[in-house]
């Protein structure tokens, strides 16, 4: 450590401090008569004490400081990571695994004498602590190196040692991963590269969503190695609890060494909800890995599409644009009609969109009256053909005062206080880039209970006139879009971004908010999704409302999960802010139901639901080790691949690598002398000694 004393002023200011101390002492003691009976050395000592005190105080007034340079030597860091996925346990014998763990442990201890060593385990995730079991059902090698970059990239990383079989089934290819460090990568090749006789389901292609009463196809890709001359049977079954229903089966002849075929079956969507199906292949002689002969998959079957009716006063480009945007969502079925041709019953639809209606020539009061009785939500798109007087009479969201014969061009301003749904920053930022909409001239006033999503911007002047607003009254939802010309927005969106995503977001969220029925339940519990993988924790959210529909979480909430066999798993929700959360952990493949209960004002409130878990089956799908990938990865990053029998040689290899060496770090710091506590006590001590000697001599 090197210390340097520095002044912010010229060095000769030091003499002013010295002169100040000596002058102060001479003025105080040179002609002092009270110590005439004392030895001359007495006053000289007192003067020296006073001179030193004043000198040091004057010196501090110049704000001197000390610069410190500290040098630290940082030993190289060696990271040792071991694969803890299920494929390792499936191939390696317990004796080999024990020997490997001992060799890696000895290597870590030996390297610790010369290097700093960090040990990691990895598979689906990266674990800083050692894992006792090898149960992870997927391997993500690229995530390991992202973790190393994030946590050790700014340190003196000397080398990375990875013990794995090279099988990865999540993340990117390790040969093309983003690895920013220059540290070499050494790999320990585990597993077996021999490709054994195997019959397996290579892929199952299906629609995640189907509709009740429809038919949907399932494509099954089947592969086999070294199974020529044998036969297998592929079967497709529907699983419901403990019962199974066979849908189709077919015999397949394996006629080549490297066999591949594709089979397609048609499934009837008979039951709504998440349906579980299973594809199974009968085993062949000599097959060792039978885990990949079976695959379950899940399809969510919706009870029915939401039927939306779009009625226009006359042909308009908006009508086609709106229909195309909405029909991209498979949950919606859109019917387009003109008011002059409309003979249908509004009761056949879940929502109605009126464009330029009501108009002076076409009133819609009878249709609105029928819709009010049924509680059917509606959206009004105001245009140049809209009759303002009739529109004001059939809705309360926006009241318009003006002359519909005059045209006003308006643009959109986002309302930051709108909370009914979230909006992407990209949409907010691009609203002003869209061309203006056309609307009747007038004064637009939103009702006190309306929620305004967008305001009108007229000739670059922000107004409080609503452009898009929502309201729910008497359990009927109504939305107003105060302008026509959405087709222009869609066109400009495509010209700028080569897609319609922004306008699609605006229209779809407007339709969704208007069409969805309000949930008036005071106690609600739900999972984040209906279908989980068996390596994903099951997350629950809960809300409890009081009589004023304010969120509370005073009472406890109990949850019971029940599997297909009736086994129950009890839980208690955690309280966070004013709502409830629960991480129920991992569950094996299957269908589950849950019941949540709580007490409020002496009443028992209950919420129920279902979720499903599907097995990944990634690790046991293909057990052939990828040693070629490990060798390429090591060569690409300046290391080498070794086998478990040569683990002890890694120490010699690392020592011979001249690029793995200690790094000297230099730390510079500056501190003002006035902050040194010991200097304060020195000055205090000098003044205290002077005072004590004067008092002891009988003078002050």
261 contacts: CB under 8 Å, gap ≥ 6: 221, 222, 252
Angle at 537 between CA 536 and CA 541, to 5 degrees: 130
- Architecture of domain 198-302 in CATH? Sandwich (2.60)
pTM: 0.55
The per-residue pLDDT for range 52-83, each reduced to its tens digit, is: 988 888 888 888 888 887 777 788 999 999 99
The per-residue pLDDT for range 180-230, each reduced to its tens digit, is: 888 999 999 998 888 888 899 988 998 888 888 788 999 999 999 988 999
Per domain, the residue ranges of the chain are 2-70+670-696, 76-194+624-656, 198-302, 306-515, 523-614
Secondary structure of residue 650 in the 3-state scheme: helix
8 A C-beta contact, residue 354 and residue 380:
yes
Query: Which among 309, 367, 305, 306 is positioned nearest to 336, based on CA atoms?
Result: 309
* CA distance linking residue 13 with residue 6, whole number of Å: 12
* CA distance linking residue 627 with residue 619, whole number of Å: 16
Question: Phi/psi at 439 (nearest 5 deg)?
Answer: -145, 155
* CA distance linking residue 35 with residue 28, whole number of Å: 12
The per-residue pLDDT for range 459-507, each reduced to its tens digit, is: 889 999 999 999 998 889 999 999 999 999 999 999 988 898 999 999 9
Query: Which among 383, 394, 388, 399 is positioned nearest to 313, based on CA atoms?
Result: 383
Q: Is the pLDDT of residue 699 over 70?
A: no
The per-residue pLDDT for range 415-454, each reduced to its tens digit, is: 999 988 888 889 998 998 899 999 999 999 999 999 999 9
Tell me the Cα Rg of the chain.
39
What's the burial of 507, exposed, middle or buried (CB within 10 Å: 0-12/13-18/19+)? buried
How confident is residue 404, by pLDDT bands cut at 50, 70 and 90? low
- Architecture of domain 523-614 in CATH? Sandwich (2.60)
CA end-to-end distance (rounded Å), the chain: 45
8 A C-beta contact, residue 444 and residue 466:
yes
How confident is residue 91, by pLDDT bands cut at 50, 70 and 90? confident
* CA distance linking residue 112 with residue 217, whole number of Å: 58
Q: Is the pLDDT of residue 700 over 60?
A: no
Q: Please state which CATH number belongs to domain 76-194+624-656.
A: 3.40.50.410
CA 270 to centroid of chain Cα atoms: 35
How confident is residue 698, by pLDDT bands cut at 50, 70 and 90? low
* CA distance linking residue 365 with residue 359, whole number of Å: 11
* CA distance linking residue 48 with residue 29, whole number of Å: 10
The reply to whether 76-194+624-656 and 306-515 are identical in fold is: yes
> Taking residues 347-355, what's their average pLDDT?
94
Q: Does the N-terminal peptide bond of residue 440 adopt cis geometry, omega within 30 degrees of 0?
A: no
The per-residue pLDDT for range 233-290, each reduced to its tens digit, is: 999 999 887 789 999 999 999 999 999 999 999 999 888 888 999 999 999 998 888 8
- Label residues 447-479 b or e (16+ Cβ within 10 Å = b): eeebbbbbbbbbeeeeeebbbbbbbbeeebbbb
Query: Which among 207, 238, 138, 274 is positioned nearest to 617, based on CA atoms?
Result: 138
What's the helix, strand, coil split of the chain in %, to 5?
A: 25, 40, 35
193 contacts: CB under 8 Å, gap ≥ 6: 624, 625, 626, 627
* CA distance linking residue 170 with residue 356, whole number of Å: 52
**Fold classification of 306-515 (topology level):** Rossmann fold (3.40.50)
* CA distance linking residue 612 with residue 585, whole number of Å: 14
8 A C-beta contact, residue 544 and residue 599:
no
């Amino acid at each position: 450590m090197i210390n340097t004393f520095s002044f912010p002023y010229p060095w000769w200011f030091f003499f002013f401090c010295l002169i100040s101390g000596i002058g102060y002492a001479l003025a105080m003691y040179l002609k002092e008569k009270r110590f005439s009976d004392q030895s001359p050395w007495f006053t000289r000592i007192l003067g020296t004490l006073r001179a030193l005190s004043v000198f040091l105080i004057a010196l501090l007034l110049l704000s001197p400081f000390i610069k410190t340079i500290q040098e630290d030597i940082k030993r190289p860091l060696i990271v040792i990571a071991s694969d803890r996925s299920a494929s390792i346990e499936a191939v390696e014998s317990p004796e080999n695994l024990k020997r490997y763990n001992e060799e890696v442990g000895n290597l870590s201890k030996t390297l610790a004498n010369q290097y700093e060593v960090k040990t990691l385990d990895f598979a689906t995730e990266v674990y800083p602590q050692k894992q006792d079991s090898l149960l992870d059902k997927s391997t993500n090698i690229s995530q390991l190196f992202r973790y190393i970059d994030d946590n050790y990239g700014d340190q003196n990383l000397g080398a990375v040692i990875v013990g794995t079989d090279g099988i990865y089934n999540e993340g990117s290819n390790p040969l093309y991963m983003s690895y920013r460090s220059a540290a070499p990568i050494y790999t320990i090749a585990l597993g077996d590269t021999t490709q054994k006789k195997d019959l397996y389901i290579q892929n199952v292609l299906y629609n995640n969503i189907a509709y009740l009463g429809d038919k949907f196809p399932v494509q099954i890709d089947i592969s086999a190695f070294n199974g020529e001359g044998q036969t297998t049977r592929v079967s497709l079954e529907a699983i419901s609890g403990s019962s199974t229903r066979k849908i189709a089966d077919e015999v397949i002849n394996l006629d080549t060494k490297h066999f591949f075929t594709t089979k397609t079956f048609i499934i009837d969507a008979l039951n709504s909800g998440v349906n579980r199906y299973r594809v199974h292949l009968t085993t062949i002689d000599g097959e060792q890995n039978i885990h990949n002969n079976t695959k379950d998959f899940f399809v969510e079957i919706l009870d029915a599409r939401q039927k939306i009716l779009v009625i226009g006063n006359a042909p308009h480009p908006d009508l086609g644009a709106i229909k195309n945007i909405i029909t991209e969502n498979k949950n919606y079925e859109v019917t387009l009609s003109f008011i002059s041709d409309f003979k249908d019953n509004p009761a056949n639809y879940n929502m109605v969109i009126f464009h330029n209606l009501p108009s002076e020539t076409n009133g819609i009061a009878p249709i609105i009256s029928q819709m009010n009785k049924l509680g059917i939500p509606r959206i009004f798109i105001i245009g140049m053909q809209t009759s303002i007087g009739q529109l004001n009479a059939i809705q309360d969201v926006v009241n318009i005062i003006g002359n519909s014969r005059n045209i006003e061009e308006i643009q959109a301003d986002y309302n930051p206080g709108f909370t009914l749904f979230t909006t992407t920053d990209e949409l907010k930022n691009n609203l002003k880039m869209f061309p203006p909409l056309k609307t009747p001239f007038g004064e637009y006033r939103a009702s006190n209970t309306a929620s305004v999503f967008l305001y009108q911007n007229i000739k670059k002047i922000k107004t409080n006139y609503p452009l898009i607003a929502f309201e729910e009254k008497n359990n009927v939802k109504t939305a107003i879009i105060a302008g026509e010309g959405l087709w222009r927005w869609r066109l400009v969106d495509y010209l700028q971004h080569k897609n319609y995503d922004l306008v699609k977001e605006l229209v779809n969220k407007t339709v969704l908010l208007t069409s969805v029925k309000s949930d008036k339940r005071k106690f609600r519990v739900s999972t984040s999704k209906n279908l989980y993988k068996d390596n994903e924790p099951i997350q629950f959210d809960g809300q409890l409302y009081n009589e004023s529909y304010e969120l509370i979480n005073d009472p406890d909430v109990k949850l019971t999960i029940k599997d297909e066999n009736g086994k129950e798993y009890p839980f208690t929700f955690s309280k966070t802010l004013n709502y409830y959360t629960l991480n129920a952990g991992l569950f094996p493949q299957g269908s589950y139901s849950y019941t949540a209960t709580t007490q409020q004002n002496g009443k028992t409130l209950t919420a129920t639901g279902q979720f499903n878990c599907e097995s990944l089956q990634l690790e046991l799908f293909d057990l052939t080790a990828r040693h070629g990938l490990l060798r390429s990865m090591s060569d690409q990053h300046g290391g080498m691949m070794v086998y478990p029998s040569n683990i002890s040689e890694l120490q010699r290899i690392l020592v011979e690598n001249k690029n793995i060496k200690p790094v000297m770090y230099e730390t510079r710091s500056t501190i003002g002398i006035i902050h040194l506590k010991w200097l304060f006590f020195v000055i205090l001590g000098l003044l205290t000694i002077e005072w004590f000697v004067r008092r002891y001599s009988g003078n002050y």
